Amino acid sequence: MTTPAKDTAATVVPSLRYRDAPAAIEWLCEAFGFEKRLVVPGEDGTIAHAQLAFGNGMIMLGSASDDAFGRLQRPLDTPDSPVSMSAYAIVDDVDAHHARAVGAGARVVMPPEDQDYGGRLYACRDPEGNLWNFGSYDPWE
């Protein structure tokens, strides 16, 4: 029998590429509350690999590059480009988290609002346009 996902440390770890990964790491920590777990510098001020924790979840990121993986995953063309995927993170206080993100310059695309399915949610973009969702709805409960 497999262990339910809610009882494991993390089962899905999204990865992103940024044009300015060092700046993205600092911004994600300031705006959203991520914590640096591992940051591996690359050449010329780039980031070869970074791991940022958020509660019991994590993201991995690195600088955009023209390697095999970099040709498969790259930053958005513009900060307004549509995305095919976004992250959702559970927070205790949506409005306080929203205020923190706005204070750091997050561009809110959906203000905090109660959802029909339960919980409260807001969505914003980071400086390079990635879409982030933060809400109080816990799908494990």
Asked if the structure places residue 25 within a domain, the reply is yes
pLDDT at 128: 97
Is 73 part of any domain? Answer: yes
Residue with tokens 């924790």: 53
Domain that holds residue 94: 12-135
Q: Tell me if 53 is assigned to some domain.
A: yes
- How much is the mean pLDDT over the chain? 93
Give the pair of three-digit tokens for residue 40: 């591996």
Query: What pTM did the predictor assign?
Result: 0.91
134 pLDDT band, cuts 50/70/90, is: very high
SS3 content of the chain, % helix, strand, coil (to 5): 20, 35, 45
Annotate 26-78 with three-state secondary structure: HHHHHHHCCEEEEEEECHHHCEEEEEEEECCEEEEEEECCCCCCCCCCCCCCC
Q: Among 56, 71, 76, 75, which Cα is nearest to 5's?
A: 56
The angle at the Cα of 28, spanning 78 to 31, to the nearest 5 degrees, equals 105
Which tens digit of pLDDT belongs to each residue from 61-82?
A: 999 999 999 999 999 999 999 9
27 falls within a domain = yes
Count how many domains the chain has. 1
CATH, residue 79: 3.10.180.10
